[in-house]
Structure 1
Amino acid sequence: MKTISNVYAVCGFAAIGGGLFGMDIATMSGVLGTESYRRYFNHPVSFTQGSITASMPIGSIFGALSSSFVSDRFSRKIAIQVSCLLWILGSAIQSGANGIPALCVGRFISGVGVGAASAIVPVYQAEIAPKEIRGRIITLQQWAITWGILIQYFIQYGCSFVDGGAKNPTQSTAAFRIPWGLQSIPAFILCIGLMWFPYSPRWLASQDRWEEAITVLADLHAGGNLKHPKVLAQYREIEEALRFEKECRAAGWAALADRKMAKRLVIGTSIQMFSELSGMNVMMYYIVYIMESANIGSPLLTASIQYIINVAITLPAILYIDRWGRRPTLLLGSLSMATLLFISGALQAGYGSPIPRSHSPDAALSWHIAGNPPVSKAIVACSYLFVATFATTWGPVSWTYPAEIFPNRIRAKATSITTAANWIFNAALAFAVPPLLYSINWKMYMIFGTFNMVAFIQVFLMVPETKNFTLEEMDVVFEGRPWAKERPRESNLDDLEQQIACGALDVDIRKEGVVTMLGDVGSMGKGGRDGKASSLSGSEDQKPIMVETAIEMTSRPRSSYESDARLREREF
């Protein structure tokens, strides 16, 4: 079966898995304001509503943690397909739910699916994308999340007009059953469509399926040309990294206990944690409540503007994240979001007033802005600016960074843990925010603003820049102190590719053989710089590794470099 080989098409299609995450986020926000939902489920508020909302992220915790078992054994692609099937099953149960228990079960099963997808998709994208655009490619995951939020919200908003509108006391249950059923369609498309997409070349290499691995690399990065310098350079790095990992013999969960890996795990986990504690998903889950507290006339419509902003403003991050870098983006984002949250909290505290309980015993809010339109508009403006800031900073980077910092042997396992951290705090916030909004109202803004300041400090002290480095070079990236000014480091892959292109290394590919690399003196060697001949299978006195596809590189007379370089330019 012929597979799709365009990197953007492959990773963009896989990002539909992120769209499921977005639909999960918006799956409740659009129905909270409908009378049919409130009446059918007996007006759930506070802890009851929090439990319903949290059932999906709780399932996602289990999905994220278990994803690596399927991903490492059966491939990233098959693991994504399994997650789609779980999402479809959960959606069917939700749309037919006859009470809160059935609704929670359906949301839990869907959560297992979306949790697994959210952990695997960034890994799949990172292992396929070249280093120059890896940030842009993984950021497609965040953009798909924003599209999922927007599409699901507008489906729910449209369905809210069923049978006389959201405020009609006899509104049909179709107002919430239709959107919960329709959310299964993207998962079905993704599950079927992945049949025409390639396996991860790094996963194939880890399974000793070298011929398939180099074929996928060639298809993705060189139009199928197995002799292209970019293909051979990437192949060489992957092979050396896997050989080193096998020599270390630490590929299981125990490898995460290594001091250096544990540090990266803390960094990746904390980035996902602070992505949730930034307060963004509070805006996404309960934006209707927030708009009601600001005394906005049409909270459903006003909230929809926020989702449009989320989609539109994520686009600049996709285009420029590999130019801006991960570290400065995180620093600027956390500082800006903290400022906006502090302003919102101060406005609520200074101009708000308590809502008498006698006015509405079942109300979800206890605090609002009454009779002060300028302040209400200012709070809404801060909400919009907050969403725009998150969409260009923490939103995309929180998925990009954890997926690229771990070595191949533990990437799926480590990313499953970092993603589980996202879902743990997602579930905690989904459960805790309704009572927080009711009990401490405006003080909640101050709490999340403080979390963003803590995130700023943590990023400044611990998070190094990873742009323009290959996945196999992350050990070098994490040397040194991120906060100290050091000489800029460069990727070795470019040097290797140039040497192959100009003929300093001759390349022959054959079906069976020994993977070796013998470089010209002074050009290659251990680490590519000590002037000694190096071998992809180890030192010269070691037994070489036999593989299905072999690349033999031997030194040649320098007089023939220029002519062959011109020939390669015509071929490529």
Structure 2
Amino acid sequence: MAGKTELSGNIYLITAVAVLGGALFGFDIASLSAILGTRQYRCYFDQSPSGQECGGPRASVQGGITASMAGGSWAGALASGFLSDILGRKRAIMVGAIIWIIGSVITCAVQNIPMLIVGRVINGISVGICSAQVPVYLSELAPPSKRGRLVGCQQWAITWGICIFFYVSFGASHVDGPASFRIPWGVQMVPAVLLFAGMIPLPESPRWLARNDRWEDCLAVLTKVHGQGNPDSPFVKREYEEIKEMCEFERQNADVTYLELFKPNMINRTHVGVFTQIWSQLTGMNVMMYYITYVFGMAGLTGNNLLVSSSIQYVINVAMTVPALLWVDRWGRRNTLMVGAFFMGTFLYINAAVLATLGGPAPEGGLDGIEAQSWVITGPPSKVVIACSYLFVASFAPTWGPVSWIYPPELFPLRVRGKANALCTSSNWAFNFALGYFVPPAFVSIKWKTYLIFAVFCTAMLVHVFFMFPETAGKTLEEVEGIFTDPSGPKYIGTPAWKTRVDYHRAAALEQGAIVDEEKLTQTASHHQETADKTGTATTA
């Protein structure tokens, strides 16, 4: 029985271990971002024209090296849906950890660019699996009032991975020769080892157990995680019955394929989940993460000053993710996404305007022989570019960063959740691949207009979220299903997305056992919705 064999039911400990899968992605971003500007890397993988030295790979090749990880992640994310349904959420994550170790061995021993790409593709497969299934695993274990906070820890782990490993790579950059990048690429195996070992005593998702008719184990996990060992806890009983009802309803849909996600009753939520991940990439955050050394190099920073200034954004990323972990379940998903899109777009428009009016083309071949550093801005205007870059990161960190992982798993019913989140996450990696490849050549060919493109995307996503993204905060996963399919549910069901509301206080009360009979609560919810209908604004129950 699961309750006798599993060693941990503390949801925060479970989260701390599982989100190490996010740290893998962060380690990869930082190890490449900190290394690609170093002389050791540029000399070892040099493709400069004759007469130049240590210019590093050509812009198009560097784009391919960067994008190779995302290409592997796309494949890994798609495969993770099948893997997770067959093996379970927990074991799928453990498989991802093993694959990461294999990829890290190859990149650590790299001899040339093709070998580097192969290692990064394998690492990407691991990241694809973990990035798709860790949010599913946590969302299926977390109580509704804490689901956003706990799943959002995936993004926080990514930011910590980026920040920590940037400084590891920065320290290694002072080592002569290829060891300067072999050391960090070898050290990045450590979190994967910890992830694999740490997952062993953790419980499996109770919803996956239920779908596989392991009802005794399902109840044991719910009791351990949500009932503090008390199977008679009102919340445990309510959660167990809701899972049971949902599984019974889904018996007739036992055979699930990716095609089901495109059927009329599912296409709306599929479009919302997929675009959540697509928009998170089209914010332009990858420009700041992967290629910040190029951006700051064009602003006149060089050497250690360049790397240290670049690292400040990683510290900002870590710190500014914390407010979302504390309050995203109160803020809701919609408002958080719209506020983030507005501020990110604002800072990108400012950067584009400053670069266009106060900057100029770099010498032929790029600054310091780096082709992608094709624009120059100096003096006070360069400080504006750097400041707006920091503010952009500060806008992304508490908004699209965590919510893009929190939101998609909440949208789908149990029978398709593993495959649905795999599809949504694969969309993330498909665009990550495209942007990783696109940005260095874009800096060469369209220069400052690269910022303008991403600013327009931020404007478009603000409008899209307002009209099409319903609120899911504070609802159980089974209740979220009712938003899309249950015509007999509360009054807000079926209303436009901008009139859906956050149910944080209701969820917290139910978890604490403060509310057993929901009749009074439903009346209160109806009153709130009537108010929203009259005012045209969302209210919080």
TM range, smaller chain: 0.7 to 0.9
Note the C-alpha offset of 1:131: 0.3
CA distance in 1, matches of 2:340, 2:253: 38
Residues 375 and 214 of structure 1: CA distance in aligned 2, closer, same or farther (over 3 Å): same
CA distance in 2, matches of 1:499, 1:357: 69
Which residue pairs with 1:409 in the alignment? 415
Q: What TM-score, normalized to structure 1?
A: 0.83
Q: Which digits, 9 at most, give the CA deviation of each residue in 1:532-564, with x for residues without a partner?
A: xxxxxxxxxxxxxxxxxxxxxxxxxxxxxxxxx
Q: Establish whether residue 447 from structure 1 lines up as the match of residue 447 from structure 2.
A: no
CA distance in 1, matches of 2:232, 2:366: 75
Which residue pairs with 2:351 in the alignment? 344
Which residue pairs with 2:198 in the alignment? 193
CA distance in 1, matches of 2:146, 2:39: 47
Note the C-alpha offset of 1:473: 1.0
Identity of aligned residues (%): 47
Note the C-alpha offset of 1:485: 3.5
Which residue pairs with 1:112 in the alignment? 125
What is the DSSP-based 3-state SS (H/G/I as helix, E as strand, rest coil) of the residue aligned with 1:60?
Answer: helix
Which residue pairs with 1:485 in the alignment? 499
Q: Which has the higher helix share?
A: 2
CA distance in 1, matches of 2:241, 2:371: 59
Note the C-alpha offset of 1:500: 11
Residue of 51, 61, 64 corresponding to 1:51? 64
Note the C-alpha offset of 1:487: 8.0
Q: Which amino acid aligns with 1:98?
A: Q
Which residue pairs with 2:531 in the alignment? none
Structure 1 unaligned regions, length at least 5: 164-171, 506-521, 524-572
Note the C-alpha offset of 1:474: 1.3
Residues 348 and 231 of structure 1: CA distance in aligned 2, closer, same or farther (over 3 Å): same
Written as runs of structure 1 = structure 2, the 5 A alignment for 1:335-374 is 335-357=342-364, 362-365=369-372, 367-370=374-377, 372-374=378-380
Higher relative contact order (CA 8 A, sep 6+): 2
What is the DSSP-based 3-state SS (H/G/I as helix, E as strand, rest coil) of the residue aligned with 1:3?
Answer: coil
Residue of 26, 29, 32 corresponding to 2:30? 26
Residues 453 and 114 of structure 1: CA distance in aligned 2, closer, same or farther (over 3 Å): same
Residues 206 and 486 of structure 1: CA distance in aligned 2, closer, same or farther (over 3 Å): closer
Which residue pairs with 2:229 in the alignment? 224
Which residue pairs with 1:132 in the alignment? 145
Which residue pairs with 1:206 in the alignment? 211
CA distance in 1, matches of 2:502, 2:406: 21
Note the C-alpha offset of 1:484: 4.6
Q: Which amino acid aligns with 1:454?
A: A
Residues 224 and 364 of structure 1: CA distance in aligned 2, closer, same or farther (over 3 Å): same
Residues 377 and 65 of structure 1: CA distance in aligned 2, closer, same or farther (over 3 Å): same
Which residue pairs with 1:68 in the alignment? 81
Written as runs of structure 1 = structure 2, the 5 A alignment for 1:398-477 is 398-477=404-483
Written as runs of structure 1 = structure 2, the 5 A alignment for 1:5-16 is 5-16=9-20
Note the C-alpha offset of 1:366: 5.1
Note the C-alpha offset of 1:51: 0.8
Larger Rg: 1
- Per mean C-alpha deviation after superposition, the further-off stretch among 263-272 and 479-488 is 479-488
Note the C-alpha offset of 1:364: 2.3
Written as runs of structure 1 = structure 2, the 5 A alignment for 1:118-197 is 118-163=131-176, 172-197=177-202
CA distance in 1, matches of 2:511, 2:166: 47
CA distance in 2, matches of 1:379, 1:228: 55
8 A Cα contact 1:317 1:396, kept in partner:
yes
8 A Cα contact 2:354 2:381, kept in partner:
yes
Count of paired positions: 497
What is the DSSP-based 3-state SS (H/G/I as helix, E as strand, rest coil) of the residue aligned with 1:28?
Answer: helix
Residues 367 and 252 of structure 1: CA distance in aligned 2, closer, same or farther (over 3 Å): closer
Residue of 233, 252, 258 corresponding to 2:257? 252
CA distance in 2, matches of 1:365, 1:224: 58
Q: What TM-score, normalized to structure 2?
A: 0.88
- Per mean C-alpha deviation after superposition, the further-off stretch among 1-10 and 321-330 is 1-10
8 A Cα contact 1:60 1:113, kept in partner:
yes
Q: Which amino acid aligns with 2:95?
A: V
What is the DSSP-based 3-state SS (H/G/I as helix, E as strand, rest coil) of the residue aligned with 2:475?
Answer: coil
What is the DSSP-based 3-state SS (H/G/I as helix, E as strand, rest coil) of the residue aligned with 2:32?
Answer: coil
What is the DSSP-based 3-state SS (H/G/I as helix, E as strand, rest coil) of the residue aligned with 2:204?
Answer: coil
Note the C-alpha offset of 1:68: 1.2
Q: Establish whether residue 292 from structure 1 lines up as the match of residue 297 from structure 2.
A: yes
Q: Which digits, 9 at most, give the CA deviation of each residue in 1:255-314, with x for residues without a partner?
A: 212213111111111010010000001110000000001112421110000000000110
Q: Establish whether residue 375 from structure 1 lines up as the match of residue 374 from structure 2.
A: no
Q: Establish whether residue 17 from structure 1 lines up as the match of residue 21 from structure 2.
A: yes
What is the DSSP-based 3-state SS (H/G/I as helix, E as strand, rest coil) of the residue aligned with 1:387?
Answer: helix
Note the C-alpha offset of 1:384: 0.4
RMSD over aligned Cα, in angstroms? 2.2
8 A Cα contact 1:295 1:369, kept in partner:
yes
Q: Which amino acid aligns with 1:266?
A: H
Which residue pairs with 1:241 in the alignment? 246
